[in-house]
Chain A
């Protein structure tokens, strides 16, 4: 390779060969393979040219290098262009082959759902928890004393007939109300007390609208200067959060042995906004819970000075709220584990 002409010829020949060869290439893989035969530093037609630099006279080295680089860049551009063209086409073919019917169902394994009772319980706990209420869980089996006597319902009290009780022995029974937990809490702690106590309760009642087991959430506040107005304030807050803004409460007189005064609490119908509909039986109001100012006899019985402390208590039927909120028409559906029911009610 004595002169540059000879080099030029050689390079032109390589160029021509590459051009020819490229015509025959059909895909990006063959471009890649062919590229190797050109650029490989040992065997490649262009790649090996640099190895020959040593044999080039010094004065020609610069020019030699420049020419080789030129052809190198030329070839690279050509390959890149080819490669891009093939890849584009190949991708198109691949994509097309992988075409999916995107309306087919997913592989997602369906999740399960919390029981409506748990949902309601969580909501209630969230609301009262944020108001500073702790959660106390009593036992399903209680003594006659905690379920009745300590709640100002002694043995001869007619209110015992209000609830049909399951007895396990002379002393033990299935609690008929979560109020039983009140007494344990008041015996164990000193005021201020702010608890809610959710749980299963039992009454010997089994017909279309009654289930022998259902759930309640008892609430109790004992502190200084607690009044009926505080009960009203707290319930107003609660019903708006659980049934929606604008829900109002109405208190009306009732009777529970352990509260005095006792009230039934109605909420303005959240379906018709109080105008009267099927849900509220045309009255505009729905009965949701019972409440009252804790009877001083109950406080005194737990060793709490009723001259210093007062309190209020309320009891909410969990299923009642669940049925109202979700429009479930039969309480028994909640205890049958029918997946068509369980999988319908979601948070």
Chain B
């Protein structure tokens, strides 16, 4: 929120520098996000008195002698039409900084430094300035909008800095207001805090006014929805004279970036910023039926708002209506049909409290945000609602722009705007903080916040002003005290009263970390991708229409379509990650991700969906192959002390003959394979890429598997290397399993060579295995082993037509 220092000073005496004020506000919970002097770009501009002013023939220029005080008398060439001897104008000395303007003399084109110049052969030692050139607008300083020199008051001291004279030495504070302090969304609200933190007095804005006794007979307000409009105050004002606002009001509005419209409209805008209460003024002439009805809109009901946009409403929106039609979208924007015009002569002022969530939701749903809706969304209190109406009527009188009638309607639900009592225990307050704040400090601080504290032993009785709706319990009191007392009083302690607990990762988390480290050791780096992805991701991996992965949870309000589905597989993002790397010229690497896939039984969600932990691995590059990826998958098995089985499988996005399903103890737990070439081409990927997905959640049951020590064999193990010839269709796994099944003594079967060549005949291959026989209770003789091998051979021959290579 923008707060001009000069405006703030209207309500509170400030005897500290802007830096100190920033520090004080920061310490009590109001972060100043930015602060700047209005005239921060302007320097070395002084009051110049034109002593002589002679026209330069055949030009529009004048040659002037200008008294610049201590800077002496300077010769200045000036092209403005209002330059004259005896006049006082802003004089930019050599080295001064002012704004450069475009040809229109209005549009700013950055800051320029004044140097010595020469115009039509005449030297000029500075520049006389317009209001625009020193950053002023007509609203900020009367006369500053003139397209010529800015005329300074006659009593301006010659040679003095011009900034304080025209108010350029003012400061703007941009203050962040936390959501619990809607009462501080106004300059007066901030003033209360400043008064408390500086220990100075607060001056309330004037609220007095005089009713004329004239009444608008028959006028009535009817609130149909008191749940979302607990208070509605209307006051009729007549003999209205629309005109410009006074300079002081225009300047203040200009300082916070608001354009002055007319006295009536400015009053509402002024109060919104001064007190934080949005108000509205209706042109009474356009209200039909002498009444205001506050009700929920009908479904499909329409309104055209001040910005000339037509909105279609529904029962969730609150509307202010006259006897016939909606005249305002409550708390958000007035209707065009009752707008204040130059011709307006009678006005109905509105100050109301609308429920913050109703305004917030309507504003969002209709895409209509205003200063008013922003205030209401955060919360407006009825204390301020009442105060604001008084203030508006006071300003009507002060600005002499209307007469205050005696028609005042206050429709409310009985909420008090008096201070309410809050009793708390001082011990409890100190208990929250962990320190003992001295009693007199407690009383001083709470007094400065207008809580009228009375301390009786441990009992602290407070009168909470109605605008402090956030004050509910001893914890709130503790916060008020410590933010004013200072957080530097909090001393570190280490939970002396707490019980000792055991901490750290649990088994599941430890295993996950173990797996991550193992994959890192095997060369893969960990990546993290978003939990949501694009529907196009599902097409990318060619999932059929009925694939369970297509049953994804949708985000109702995604940032965009690409981030609109909760992911059901990690593969698409991994493929895209490999694509991104390759596009950047990284042509080899391995990445893995641990993340959840989301599975819902029913859509839209009625129950918590399953969040299933999954590992995805991607690797790419010349040196990678199906088997290097398989190696990374085996790392998972090895780390958990389990074994995976693989069998050929097909996946729409993977190579038809380089894809495997992964099983663990018969259960499907994932797949791996080479990304098919069509996809590689489509994504402009440059090298072969591989991807695997493993359902980690299915492996949790193996976590913490007790590793049992197997005693070393008592007798010598026998190793036989056997080389077989077989049809190319026979898989390694088939032969391996057949070998294993052939003898209970076999403890290890390992493929060590594969050969395909003409001498074997095409469609044949040879595979060489080393087989280890481990004796159990007695030694195995070489005759025993030979016997085993023979039965192994006959079994292989019978099953797969596998023969020993001669």
Contacts and interface: CB of A to CB of B under 8 A. Distances in A.
Given A227-B433, A339-B589, A174 B555 contact: yes
B498 A224 contact: yes
A131 B499 CA distance: 11
Interface string A26-70: 000000000000000000000000000000000000000000000
B731 interface: no
B360 A141 contact: no
Contact of B520 (A112, A234, A263): A112
Given A129-B504, A135-B505, A225-B497, A339 B581 contact: yes
Nearest to B502: A132
Interface in B112-149: none
A158 interface: yes
Interface string B462-506: 000000000001011011001100011011111111111111111
B377 A118 contact: no
A128 B525 CA distance: 26
A167 B498 contact: no
Nearest to A265: B487
A131 B377 contact: no
Contacts of A257: 179-180
A204 to B, nearest CB: 6
A170 B554 CA distance: 12
A157 B27 CA distance: 25
Interface stretch (B57-65, B156-164, B211-219, B601-609): B601-609
A207 to B, nearest CB: 10
Interface string B498-527: 111111111001000100110111111111
Interface in A152-187: 155-162, 166-169, 171-172, 174
A255 B178 contact: yes
Contact of B431 (A128, A160, A225): A225
Contacts of B558: 166
Contacts of A174: 531-532, 555
Contacts of A143: 608
Contact of A340 (B178, B529, B555, B584): B584
Contacts of B525: 112-113, 115, 339, 342-343
Interface string A249-288: 0111111010011110000000000000000000000000
B591 A342 contact: yes
B173 to A, nearest CB: 17
Interface in A181-207: 192, 194, 200, 202, 204, 206
A113 B323 CA distance: 72
A232 B178 contact: no
A229 B498 contact: no
B590 A112 contact: yes
Interface string B586-604: 1001111100101000001
A133 interface: yes
Contacts of A213: 530-532
B181 interface: yes
B605 A168 contact: yes
A209 interface: no
Contacts of A139: 608, 611
A253 B29 contact: yes
B356 interface: yes
Nearest to B30: A253
B179 A125 contact: no
Given A141-B598, A223-B497, A233-B492, A338 B581 contact: yes
A64 to B, nearest CB: 47
Interface stretch (A10-18, A85-93, A329-337): A329-337
B377 A226 contact: no
Contacts of A204: 557, 559
B435 A229 contact: yes
Given A223-B495, A233-B494, A234-B494, A141 B432 contact: no
A336 B502 contact: no
A186 to B, nearest CB: 15
Contacts of B530: 212-213, 335
B385 to A, nearest CB: 17
Contact of A338 (B182, B475, B521, B584): B584
Contacts of A162: 179
Contacts of B513: 118, 122
A140 interface: yes
A109 interface: yes
B133 to A, nearest CB: 31
B198 interface: no
Nearest to B428: A307
B223 interface: no
A117 interface: yes
Contacts of A194: 498, 501, 503
A149 interface: no
A168 B554 contact: yes
Contact of B529 (A168, A223, A296, A335): A335
Nearest to A125: B505
A212 B557 CA distance: 12
A39 B105 CA distance: 119
Given A161-B179, A174-B555, A261 B478 contact: yes
A107 B291 CA distance: 89
B584 A132 contact: no
Interface in B539-595: 553-559, 563, 566, 574, 577, 580-581, 584, 586, 589-593
B476 A234 contact: no
A67 B120 CA distance: 132
A110 interface: yes
Contact of A337 (B29, B529, B556, B598): B529
B479 A260 contact: yes
Contact of B504 (A135, A157, A343): A135
Given A158-B379, A167-B556, A261-B478, A112 B524 contact: yes
A213 B555 CA distance: 14
A228 interface: yes
Contacts of B478: 260-261, 293
B698 interface: no
A221 B434 CA distance: 15
A229 B490 CA distance: 6
B357 interface: yes
Contact of A131 (B180, B503, B581, B593): B503
A340 B586 contact: yes
B771 interface: no
B388 interface: no
Contact of B497 (A130, A134, A226, A228): A226
Contacts of B435: 227, 229
B556 A251 contact: no
Given A130-B503, A213-B530, A335-B530, A230 B487 contact: no
A83 interface: no
Contacts of B519: 112
A172 B378 CA distance: 24
Contacts of A130: 503-504
Interface in A217-250: 221, 223-230, 232-234, 236-237, 250
B553 A113 contact: no
Given A129-B504, A160-B360, A192-B501, 13 more contacts: A112-B520, A115-B527, A140-B596, A158-B379, A192-B499, A200-B531, A253-B29, A253-B482, A254-B29, A261-B479, A335-B528, A337-B574, A342-B591
5 A-B pairs with the lowest CB-CB distances in the bound complex, closest first: A227-B434, A229-B434, A253-B29, A156-B357, A337-B527
24 contacts: A112-B524, A114-B516, A114-B520, A117-B528, A122-B513, A129-B505, A135-B505, A155-B357, A157-B357, A160-B360, A167-B557, A168-B553, A171-B606, A174-B532, A202-B532, A225-B496, A226-B495, A227-B431, A252-B487, A255-B181, A310-B432, A335-B528, A338-B584, A342-B527
Interface of B: 26-29, 178-182, 355-357, 360, 377-379, 431-435, 473, 475-476, 478-479, 482-483, 487-488, 490-506, 509, 513, 516-517, 519-532, 553-559, 563, 566, 574, 577, 580-581, 584, 586, 589-593, 596, 598, 604-606, 608-609, 611
